Amino acid sequence: MASSLLRPSSSPLPTVCILLLLLLVSPPLSESSSSPSVLPSSLSAKKLCNSTPHPETCLKSLNLFVDINISPSILTFLLQTLKSALSEASDLARILGSAGAGVVENQRATLQDCWELHQISLSCLRKSSSFVLSGKKLSDVRTFLSAALTNRATCLEGLAAASGPAKETVAGAVAEAYKSVSNALSILSNVAPPPGGRRRGRRHPPGSISGSSQFPAWLSRRDRRLLQSTDEGNGYDPRSVLTVAQDGSGNFTTIGDAVAAVPNNSGDRTVIIVRAGVYNENVEIPSYKTNVVFLGDGSNATVIRGSRSVGGGWTTFRSATLAVAGEGFLARDIAVENAAGPENAQAVALRVNADLSAFYLCSFSGYQDTLYVHSFRQFYRECAISGTVDFIFGNAAVVFQGCAIQPRRPLPGQFNAITAQGRDDPNENTGISIQNCTVVAAGDFAGSATRTYLGRPWREYSRTVFMETYMDSVVDPAGWREWNATRKGLETVYYGEYRNRGEGARTEKRVDWAGHHLMEYDDAVEFTVEALISGDGWLESTSFPYDYPV
């Protein structure tokens, strides 16, 4: 439940008390910024609101500041905007909970998607307010707010395919409720600018952005050992190590049953060892199943296989064979497949909307929309990803290192696009970074004349970079492709290439969009583990290796 500080009140006295409290407790900045923490007299609440995406909503949130002669800090404005966002999100939860028969689902799980994602958004808003009040890292707040906006977009995508008398009302309520979230993210950018500025620090040898092989810092040494070795939970409490085996030799015969046995909201790791076999099931790790680890017997031995698809009547979000929403998820030596086939359109193998998630020595195979890197911070090391159309897509802040990216043969008349990044707000800290990987055609591609592109802009502010990656001739000389005939976003995307190699890495015939960049060293540093996913703060705990500049 939200604290009373964050609940709206119709009485003027509590509102004044809230204002005084916000002014008194506005915390110091916890990360360096060139922006002042106190607004100069020339910058009023009105001027600040005019710089946000939804000025009228902002003014409504800050109406008390507009009418009095004070100079609060920007963080005070941010806290008040978050208070409004949480109040509006709470109202939306009631609307979603009662939508019922008023929305006719043409794709299964449309309302379930909206409800579950909105609960995660509510948690993001509560954590954001708490982090700002306590002076914790503002980069985490940007992650939470970016994820909340991604949840909004996913819900609206599902509702667009629905019908029924309440559809437009529900969709309008979703769009309206998230305006203050977007405004909060905009105000936050005045406190700590979004990624993209130059960083100072020791340089690697000229041109190189790869450091020594190691895991990002948000993975503990214990987790690194767990993922990097053949350790199967040695040293963990035996009660926190579960085994799944189809022959009955373990604790469970299905992965879903093992996940159900994991304690809810646990701060400790639960290790699930999945023995060799093909597990024909759709597995979900809900948001309340935290710090789960999957350890397989190898990506050629332990396989999770499903066949849900949009063609089969599911939403893209719910089509995933393995769906991960629980924070701190790790996996090693697992294969995840969606066997729906190319004729069934979008069919996700793995979907991840869990913060601080990492995958090592795994494989993900499908056709359209194989890997849904939906939101939050993610890391993939030495994994294999194969597919056709938009087969790495979503709006996470995600880094791939040492991965094998394998375009497959699509349906006749289709083209391949490796990435479709979904950033639709310029203040979001999201993007896809592909570093030191290989782009080589899969075996079934041989002899195909299909054009394969590095990516196309799913959203207006899409960000994707390929760095120090080998590309064979499967990559089309243009490199990138428009989303559709409108050519929207070609000026506002950020598509970058840095020191790639191979026939497909030649840049003489690349697109001439304003949003395409041949990157310099300082540009590339912005898309490393340390800069893009705050990897120095969590990956060390995973035991996965990772590279990042000093």
Going edge to edge, which strands form the sheet with 389-394? 283-285, 322-324, 350-352, 371-373, 389-394, 416-421, 452-455
Which three-class secondary structure state does DSSP give residue 432? strand
pLDDT at 195: 56
10 Å Cβ neighbour count for 457?
29
Average pLDDT, the chain: 87
pLDDT at 144: 98
Going edge to edge, which strands form the sheet with 377-381? 241-244, 270-274, 292-296, 330-332, 357-360, 377-381, 397-401, 431-435, 463-467, 494-498, 516-518
Which three-class secondary structure state does DSSP give residue 236? coil
Please, are residues 394 and 372 in contact by the beta-carbon 8 Å criterion? yes
- In whole angstroms, give the CA distance from residue 529 to residue 517: 20
| Vertex 107: Cα angle to 363 and 484 (nearest 5) | 70
- In whole angstroms, give the CA distance from residue 233 to residue 114: 36
Give the pLDDT mean for 364-390: 98
What is the pTM for the complete model shown?
Answer: 0.90
Give the pLDDT mean for 238-265: 96
Q: For residue 15, what pLDDT band results from cuts at 50, 70 and 90? A: very low
| Vertex 138: Cα angle to 211 and 22 (nearest 5) | 165
Can you say how many angstroms the Cα of residue 51 is from the centroid of all Cα atoms in its chain? 26
Q: For residue 488, what pLDDT band results from cuts at 50, 70 and 90? A: confident
Range with lowest mean pLDDT among 119-123, 160-164, 224-228, 368-372? 224-228
Task: Provide the token pair at 292.
Answer: 């789960």
- Domains of the chain listed by start with CATH number: 72-191 (1.20.140.40), 236-373 (2.160.20.10), 388-549 (2.160.20.10)
Which three-class secondary structure state does DSSP give residue 104? strand
pLDDT at 534: 79
Task: Provide the token pair at 93.
Answer: 């939860």
Q: Give me the catalytic one of 390, 424, 523, 547.
A: 390
Task: Give the residue carrying structure tokens 């897509």.
Answer: 393
Q: Is residue 62 pLDDT above 90, yes or no?
A: no
pLDDT at 208: 67
Predicted confidence (pLDDT) per residue in 76-128, tens digit: 889 999 999 999 999 999 999 998 889 999 999 999 999 999 999 999 999 99
- In whole angstroms, give the CA distance from residue 27 to residue 131: 10
Which residues, including other chains, have CB under 8 Å from residue 101's CB and lie 6 or more apart? 164
Q: Which of 50, 67, 58, 86 is nearest to 12 (CA)?
A: 67
pLDDT at 302: 99
Which residues, including other chains, have CB under 8 Å from residue 149's CB and lie 6 or more apart? 178, 181, 182, 185, 424, 425, 428
Between 319 and 12, the higher pLDDT residue:
319
- 390 flagged as catalytic: yes
Q: Which of 493, 549, 494, 502 is nearest to 525 (CA)?
A: 549
Task: Provide the token pair at 92.
Answer: 């939306």
Please, are residues 455 and 485 in contact by the beta-carbon 8 Å criterion? no
Q: For residue 233, what pLDDT band results from cuts at 50, 70 and 90? A: low
- Classify each residue of 75-113 as buried b or exposed e, where b means 16 or more C-beta atoms within 10 Å of its C-beta: bbbbbbbbbbbbbbbbebeebbeebeeebebebebbbeb
- In whole angstroms, give the CA distance from residue 12 to residue 195: 39
